[in-house]
Homo-oligomer: A and B are copies of this chain.
Amino acid sequence: MAATISPLAPKSYPDMPDLEGVRFATASAGIKYKGRTDVLLAVMDPGTTVAGVFTRSKCSSAPVDWCKAILKRGTARGLMVNSGNANAFTGRKGKAAVELSAQIASKALDCGVDEVFLASTGVIGEPLPAEKFSGVIDGLATFENPASWIEAAKAIMTTDTYPKVATATVELDGETITINGMAKGAGMIAPDMATMLSFIFTDAAISADVLQSMLSSQTDGSFNAITVDSDTSTSDTVLLFATGAAAKRGIAPVESIEDARYETIRAALGDLMQSLSHQIVRDGEGATKFVEVRVEGAESDASAKRIALSIANSPLVKTAIAGEDANWGRVVMAVGKAGEPADRDRLAIWFGDIRVAVEGERDPDYDEAATTAVMQQEDIVIRVELGLGSGEASVWTCDLTKEYVAINGDYRS
């Protein structure tokens, strides 16, 4: 938790509505940080279904392994998250720590060990002192009701400068269901998998396989389309819980992707996931600019996304943005290095609404002053038209500043 809040932070938080079927408690276990909360415990009503997407890292953390193993059941009663220690690359000690963590939480929640999902975020390679959870979790006699989403989101922060929450409501059968979510992340953010930690809840009743389908289909355009530094975490976890409490209000469960309500909920979920993922980029370590990289006219959507990521991950593009320099030559370089089909002489590039390059060279009407004005804005759109096909993709990133280097030059110590 940094002293200074990102200049790109949202100006206000949404008013998070109560969501029936889930309650939170936070605590200070002193895992690494002092004087702040570092444990989040969520308890969900019996019958809650769960879906998850996880890092594709070959060195995934012990809690990721745990969640993957118990996800098969499709149901959840508890979620425990700690910040300050990722319990990653901790060998047998790491496995023992997740087992102890789940035992402590299951005892407090009076549920099965394999109904407790776990996530840890923080330093890699240090053994997690899970016994510290015992004292604080056992003592949590009552959970807040209504749950405080902001407090929950704060407990899972590491280098984040602000808590990240989003909410959506959907009208179903004349009744309202709610989707609330939180996320954390600021560095070690790269796509191609579920990125960092995010926990999303709905009171709708949705069967586990349908829930998983909703979550997986919306990951590509949200958490898998952001990058801060091209570095992929060992701990990336997105969990979506459906408490089913809305069924008590007469909203029938969604048990098939053919159900007309599936698309309605899925769309709202997608917007919420995109909001959370953009909040992560806006808290990118050292970030001063929020950048959409849009690639159109590629041979395929997948090709467009790889080119967009090549641009969004280029240190030279990102430092130019930090310097408010309309250095579109570096965008050309990043298109060229992506290894994807591209024809230099068909390329066109826009910064904001200004076309800076066309047909493989500088736009004849290029206006440096107007382009610089675009670069001085806080939110910048870089658009590349390849002129080859109809493939398109957007990814979101931030600039690379001296502050990123400062934050990461001494994060661990």
Contacts and interface: CB of A to CB of B under 8 A. Distances in A.
Q: What's the interface size class on A, roughly?
A: 35 or more
Nearest to A231: B316
Contacts of A190: 337
Interface of A: 55-60, 86, 88-94, 123-127, 187-188, 190, 229-234, 313-316, 319-320, 322-323, 325, 327-330, 332-345, 347, 357, 359-362, 400-402, 404-406, 408-413
A409 B361 contact: no
Contacts of A55: 336
Nearest to A333: B234
The residue among A187, A328, A336, A402 with the most chain B CB atoms within 10 A of its own CB is: A336
A89 B234 contact: no
27 contacts: A58-B335, A58-B338, A58-B339, A59-B333, A59-B336, A88-B329, A88-B333, A89-B329, A91-B345, A91-B359, A124-B332, A187-B316, A190-B337, A230-B315, A231-B334, A232-B336, A233-B333, A234-B336, A315-B315, A319-B404, A319-B405, A323-B408, A323-B409, A325-B409, A325-B412, A400-B405, A402-B406
A389 to B, nearest CB: 15
A2 to B, nearest CB: 16
Contact of A60 (B230, B327, B336): B336
B342 A126 contact: no
Nearest to A313: B230
Contacts of A232: 333, 336-337
Given A58-B338, A126-B329, A315-B408, 20 more contacts: A55-B336, A58-B340, A58-B344, A59-B342, A59-B347, A86-B329, A89-B357, A94-B361, A125-B357, A125-B361, A125-B362, A229-B316, A230-B314, A231-B315, A231-B316, A231-B337, A327-B412, A401-B405, A404-B405, A405-B405
Given A60-B344, A345-B91, A333 B409 contact: no
A93 B190 CA distance: 38
A125 B345 CA distance: 12
Copies in the complex: 2
Contacts of A56: 339
A289 to B, nearest CB: 12
A328 B125 CA distance: 8
Contacts of A127: 361-362
A88 B360 CA distance: 9
A67 B5 CA distance: 51
A123 B362 CA distance: 12
B402 A332 contact: no
A393 B409 CA distance: 27
A338 B232 CA distance: 9
A90 B361 contact: yes
Contact of A314 (B90, B231, B401): B231
Return the 3 tightest CB-CB contacts between A and B, nearest first: A124-B329, A323-B409, A91-B361
A378 to B, nearest CB: 17
Given A229-B315, A333-B57, A337-B57, A409 B322 contact: yes
Contacts of A357: 89, 125
Contacts of A412: 320, 325, 327, 329
Contact of A344 (B59, B329, B344): B59
Contact of A89 (B86, B360, B410): B360
A332 B362 CA distance: 43
